[in-house]
Amino acid sequence: MSLSGNEMSRSAGAAAWAPRAGAAAAALILAGVLACAGATAAFAARHRAPRGHPASQGHHARRAQATHTLRASDRAKLRYRSAKGSTLYETGQALGSLPGAMRVHMRVTATFTGTFTIYAHGGTITGHGRALPHGSGTIESFKGTLTVTSGSGRYRHARGRARLYGTFNRRTYALTIQTAGTLRY
């Protein structure tokens, strides 16, 4: 194949232009990247999070999220230890999904309210509950809800809600509790 002189000069011109076009394209892309980086930096400078806000402290300051979800069902038999006014202090063992020692401070009024701590393997689980008593007599049943608000150890990010059922013996102050709900930790 032979090229005429005119075709050779066009071909040589194109070959000579090709490296310059590549360099020009690279320079144009680099300029675009730098412009975007500059615009991003300027935007970030104008839209910084307030001092002390987790976003201003980088990715390490993000709040830890619960990584486990447990559908728990537990029961506990608690014994009366002491009282102060209408608040009872009870202890016992929780059995089921989260076994461990349990402590309860329960206020016995028209509505039962209280706080609890479960000392499970690997940490503690803490929260509060509220229940309405039903019936009268020595053994009184109750039904309500409980909320897990915190924990320690492996349960340090614990949060959850559960249904709460049980009986309260007005003569011995003994409590029998059953719970069913979801715990995130």
Instruction: Return the CATH fold of 69-184.
Output: AOC barrel-like (2.40.350)
The set of residues, in sequence order, having a beta carbon less than 8 Å from that of 81 and lying 6+ positions away, is 89, 90, 91
Question: pTM of this prediction?
Answer: 0.65
Output the tens digit of pLDDT for each of the chain's 185 residues.
444 444 444 444 444 444 444 444 344 344 444 444 444 444 444 445 555 555 555 544 445 566 899 999 999 999 999 999 999 999 999 999 999 999 999 999 999 999 999 999 999 999 999 999 998 899 999 999 999 999 999 999 999 999 999 999 999 999 999 999 999 99
Separation in Å, CA 178 to CA 20, 110, 151: 79, 20, 20
From 93, 100, 95, select the one nearest 73 (Cα to Cα). Answer: 95
Burial class of residue 183 (count of CB atoms within 10 Å of its CB; 0-12, 13-18, 19+): buried
Whole-angstrom Cα distance, residue 47 to residue 108? 53
The ranges assigned to domains in the chain are: 5-61, 69-184
How far apart are the C-alpha atoms of 42 and 40, rounded to whole Å?
5
